[in-house]
Chain A
Amino acid sequence: MNVMQEKLAFLLDKYSVEAKATLLNRDVVAVDGAETPLLSHCLERRFIELKNMVLNNTLSGVSVMRVARIIHKGADINVALYREFDLCQWILGEIICQVTAFQNGNVLNVIATTKSGIVCTIEISATLADDMEPIDKHEIIAEHGIGCDVVVDAQLKQDSVYVFGDTKQKFTDVDFELYGLSIEDIAIVRSAFSLAQKKNGAEHIEADCYLNKLVAAAEKSAERCERVVL
């Protein structure tokens, strides 16, 4: 957390942002004392580009968004679901208004529908060993084109650098200003910086509130075996 706070301070200083921003944990930043949910996942570059594809009509006539995320055993699948609900809404620029879910312990499958009728399929599982990084895939299928964060005809993402020395290593570096941080840590710092710069914490608080309602709707749907309309 210290390294991320240092990088955040560097950005605030470099871009002359006067607000005081303190990372309280990986999910919350205090901007001038006001605690705000970071929703940092949205600022991963892959998601920014997927959103741009929808926004600028590169993917025209979106029909379906398919999401799969596998996290480590013991992790909270509802936290993962919150994240993926947020990504679907943020990338598509639409609110989800219907949720149907089936859960079997640490695995969860959801179909959610946005206001315009785009269908989102979300598959979550907490089945990976502790030392493994999360595996995920986000795919948008449209009348004109498919956008995805995994290359065609592959099951897993590529990394930028592979080292085959005495030990195998791999690196994925995506931000020169924040060089050395992981993709997730970069997104946290960028999100905190953005909130300090734009002072749009109210939007995040509103989004967080609705996301919690969506997660609760999924829990209710899984429990009662029915579609829940918000």
Chain B
Amino acid sequence: MKPLKIAMMSMTHGHTRKYYQVLKENPKLDWVAVSTANDEVKEIFLNSVDGIPCYDSELAMLDAHPEIEAVVLASENSDHLRQMKLCAERGIHILSMKIPTFDMDEYEEMIKIVEENGLVCQIELEMHYNPVIARLKELVKNKEIGDIKAFNATNITLSPVWAFPWQGVPEKSYGKRVSIKEGDHRFRGGALCDHPHIFDMIRHMTGSEFDTIYAEVAPNIRPDLEEEDMLSVIGRMKDGTIFSLDPSWSKMENRLKVPGPGWEVFPKRMEVNITLHGEKGTVMADCFGPNVYHSGLPNDRYTVQYTYFDEWVGLIDEFVDNIRNNKTPLINLKWHKKTVEAMNACYESIATGQPVKL
């Protein structure tokens, strides 16, 4: 199979660096170029990767490399529609970050652009390429604990806003400045916008859609943020399954400009745990482990050192297969729309103080 000629745009997204290794090592890919959104991310990229042409503008990159077949939109949420249009005009396939947009009119426009131009647009929800998730899906399919009665999950991390400042700006993260609730100084766009995975996974595992959602925002553990960093979500799926989801930034971080060793204040920087309660029992899963531990440099502080972060390998394999074999991505724009709608319902519930029926 001919290697897919791929490029990256912006390089401002927190997941940008996850692609460095896979884009260089995957034999199905030919990494052609990148364009950077600003000097800061350009410097970080040039210090991290050798031998890939780096452009200051998207247009300059696209004009210089008409051979580009696909682009990873490694950008802030507010840039996605504009960049999708740029790609669509040239027939370039798209790998979008996990939130294409929270604006449902924009979302419809994205669907239209992709369909009209016959493009593959895959959404980056990398948990589907995690081996623990694969095991969970198998256990659910085999009805190991019978029909699912509850899906409880955490998708909790440190806050990335110090390294990826756009995530702390409501207009760039949520798309506009909307008060989180009356009398509260905070705006939409924080931790919830960073953590769609568990909202997506419950739909896959139950085969059902959201029926009712209730969400509550808690006091920020980072009072200087203007977005929410702590929230809790409960509710019910249409098949009766109840859920409890925690998409918070509840792990405290050192405020590094570039993620790396010493980012954590709390020893564990990230957790995706899923507990399924079924008619015949319970399954508890930690999607990232077992791990190793150290108390070494740079802070001599007890730290969880993860041993597995290879989700992007499977994700890129699927992306290439979708393009070369004209397949629809598992996580495509239409599928993902209901996940984004559920996340918007969380904000609506926080604002109204009542459960929201979808």
Tell me the A residues contacting B by CB distance below 8 Å: 61, 63-64, 66, 68, 70, 100-111, 113, 117-119, 121, 123, 125, 127-129, 135, 141-143, 145-146, 152-153, 155-156, 225-227
Contact = CB atoms under 8 A, between A and B. Distances in A.
Given A111-B216, A152-B268, A129 B243 contact: no
A85 to B, nearest CB: 15
Given A119-B230, A141-B230, A153 B304 contact: yes
B275 A146 contact: no
A31 B303 CA distance: 49
A145 B267 CA distance: 11
Given A100-B234, A111-B232, A119-B232, A153 B244 contact: no
A119 B191 CA distance: 16
A109 B354 contact: no
Nearest to A156: B284
B220 A63 contact: yes
Contacts of A118: 218-219
Contact of A141 (B236, B250, B275): B250
Contact of A111 (B234, B275, B291): B234
Interface centre among B150, B252, B289, B291 (most CB of A within 10 A): B150
Given A102-B214, A106-B149, 13 more contacts: A64-B218, A103-B242, A107-B150, A109-B152, A123-B244, A123-B275, A125-B150, A127-B281, A128-B282, A141-B248, A146-B251, A155-B273, A225-B212
A204 B231 CA distance: 32
Given A226-B354, A227-B354, A227-B355, A125 B277 contact: yes
Interface string B143-156: 00100011010000
Nearest to A108: B242
Interface string B56-79: 000000000000000000000000
Interface string B279-293: 001101010010101
Nearest to A105: B149
Contacts of B150: 104, 107, 109, 123, 125
Interface centre among A127, A145, A152 (most CB of B within 10 A): A127
A152 B267 contact: yes
A54 B251 CA distance: 18
B118 to A, nearest CB: 42
A96 to B, nearest CB: 12
Contact of A104 (B242, B248, B250, B284): B242
Interface of B: 145, 149-150, 152, 212, 214, 216-223, 230-232, 234-236, 240-244, 246, 248, 250-252, 266-268, 273, 275, 277-278, 281-282, 284, 286, 289, 291, 293, 302, 304, 353-355
Contacts of B353: 227
Contacts of B289: 153
B234 A102 contact: yes
A153 B268 contact: yes
Given A141-B250, A226-B355, A68 B152 contact: yes
B219 A61 contact: yes
* 4 closest cross-chain pairs (CB), A and B: A119-B218, A107-B150, A109-B244, A102-B242
B240 A104 contact: yes
Given A113-B216, A123-B152, A102 B235 contact: yes
Contacts of B284: 135, 155-156
A78 B218 CA distance: 25
A70 B304 CA distance: 27
B304 A109 contact: no
A73 B297 CA distance: 47
Given A68-B275, A102-B235, A128-B281, A119 B244 contact: no
B230 A153 contact: no
A63 B219 contact: yes
Contacts of B277: 70, 107, 125, 127
A156 B214 CA distance: 28
A113 B235 CA distance: 16
Given A111-B234, A226-B354, A117 B244 contact: no
Contacts of A152: 266-268, 302, 304
B267 A111 contact: no
A153 B219 contact: no
Given A127-B277, A153-B291, A227-B214, A110 B149 contact: no
A117 B219 CA distance: 7
Contacts of A64: 218, 230, 232, 248, 250
